[in-house]
């Protein structure tokens, strides 16, 4: 008398996936290395986007701290192509424009050079310009002094100099009280400025008193005017500035907005971010190839397991879902690790620079999503190959 055999047990997809992960746990090093490729790609994308976002946020914060209502006017070129000059009354004329709150100026002392001492070759200027400066320049620019004090009515009439941040570094001077050699005479360094993002030309300059500069061949014409305006009048002042300063030849006056130029520069950096994201995507793709390789090898090594499950009643669809789930999970874990590493790099950079933290949510979502998509694509062929095996074929080739 024959005894009836029990019907094959049906396994749920969740059970298959849970059991299937034991195959990856049995090969931890291979799985970790594959996930690491995904993590490196995502981390590169998120870190580069995060550092770029932090840099732009820091720059915008500096611009807002210094004020976006600063304009600069400088002489352009005449119709014949020669350098023009600003009229001597340019400062006073600019101050009469409605909406202007402050006006200051610098003037280039073209025949003077700065040296650390008189034993250095006069031709070695280190790119430092000597500028005559008004006493209210620092207040108009919203700058600060790192060491010493800025020029005033007393020091501006004597051989005293204030160095910009870059000029001080190039001369090797860290604090006020030192002496430098300008136009054949010794000058006392009475102050050193902090960096001025809105006026980088000041950073590379040695500033002396306006009245004292006239004795060094300075003709009294400003080379750059700095104009502060009321915030809601900046566009109007921008349009009126050139014809007001030089009514006869307004085309020979160049008016710029330093804050807008810096903001445009920050926007231009997004082009480089796209390049870096592309490099991260290449690394991410390489990680996806690694995941696909692991899953293909996993199918070859687990044929007996696949045949056994098919014999127990697992359908082709369940086998496909098992291997596809493993591939997606492996990639997703790498993506999460990469996002965490990338955000940590961005946060560390923001902390080191003292800038506000700006999270690149697009890169975070895109990196995680890309990891999942690449994991799914990498698992398609291994899952299809595993599902094609019949129980007899899988057990016979195991």
- Tokens for 175? 């604090």
User: Residues 321, 19: contact at Cβ < 8 Å?
Assistant: no
For 159-173, write each residue's pLDDT tens digit.
999 999 999 999 999
Domain boundaries along the sequence of the chain = 13-63+263-396, 68-259
pLDDT score at 202: 95
Is the per-residue pLDDT at 22 higher than 70?
A: no
Do the Cβ atoms of 41 and 286 come closer than 8 Å? yes
For residue range 170-197, what is the model confidence (pLDDT) as tens digits? Answer: 999 999 999 999 988 999 999 999 998 8
User: Binning pLDDT at 50, 70 and 90, where does residue 290 land?
Assistant: low
Q: Which residue has the tokens 């051989």?
A: 159
Average per-residue pLDDT in the chain? 79
Residues 342-380: pLDDT tens digits? 888 888 877 887 777 777 777 777 777 877 787 777 777
* Alpha helices (H) in 246-360, listed in sequence order: 258-301, 303-311, 316-353
172: region left, alpha or beta (phi > 0 left; psi from -120 to 50 alpha): left
How much of the chain, in percent, has pLDDT values that exceed 90?
A: 28
What pLDDT score does 233 carry?
86
Residue 21 has pLDDT above 70, yes or no: no
């Amino acid at each position: 008398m024959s005894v009836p055999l029990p019907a094959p047990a049906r396994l749920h997809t969740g059970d298959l996936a849970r059991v299937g992960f034991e195959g990856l746990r049995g090969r931890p090093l291979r799985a970790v290395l594959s996930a690491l490729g995904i993590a490196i790609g995502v981390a590169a994308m998120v870190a580069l986007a995060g550092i770029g976002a932090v840099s732009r946020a820091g720059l915008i914060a500096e611009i807002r701290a210094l004020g976006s209502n600063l304009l600069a006017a400088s002489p352009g070129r005449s119709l014949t192509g020669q350098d023009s000059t600003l009229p001597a009354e340019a400062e006073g004329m600019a101050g009469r424009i409605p909406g202007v709150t402050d006006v200051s100026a610098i003037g280039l002392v073209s025949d003077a050079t700065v040296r650390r001492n008189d034993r250095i070759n006069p031709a070695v200027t280190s790119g430092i310009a000597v500028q005559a400066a008004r006493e209210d320049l620092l207040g108009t620019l919203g700058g600060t002094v790192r060491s010493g004090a800025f020029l005033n009515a007393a020091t501006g009439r004597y051989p005293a100099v204030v160095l910009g941040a870059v000029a001080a570094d190039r001369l090797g001077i860290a604090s006020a009280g030192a002496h430098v050699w300008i136009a054949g005479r010794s000058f006392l360094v009475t102050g050193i400025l902090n960096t001025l993002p809105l006026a980088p030309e000041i950073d590379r300059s040695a500033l002396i008193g306006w009245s004292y500069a006239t004795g060094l061949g300075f003709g009294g014409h400003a080379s750059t005017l700095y104009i502060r305006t009321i915030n809601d009048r900046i566009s109007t002042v921008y349009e009126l500035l050139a014809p007001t300063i030089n009514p006869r030849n307004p085309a020979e006056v160049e008016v710029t907005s330093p804050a807008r130029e810096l903001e445009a520069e920050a926007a231009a950096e997004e082009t480089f971010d796209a390049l870096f994201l592309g490099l991260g995507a290449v690394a991410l793709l390489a990680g996806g190839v690694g995941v696909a390789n692991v899953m293909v090898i996993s199918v070859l090594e687990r044929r007996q397991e696949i045949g056994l499950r098919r014999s127990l009643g697992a359908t082709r669809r369940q086998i496909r879902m098992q291997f596809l789930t493993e591939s997606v999970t492996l990639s997703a874990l790498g993506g999460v690790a990469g996002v965490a590493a990338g955000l940590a790099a961005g946060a560390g950079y923001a902390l080191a620079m003292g800038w506000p933290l700006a999270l690149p949510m697009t890169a975070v979502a895109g990196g995680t999503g890309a990891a999942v998509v690449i994991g799914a694509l990498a698992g398609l062929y291994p899952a299809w190959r595993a599902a094609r095996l019949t129980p007899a074929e899988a057990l016979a080739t195991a």
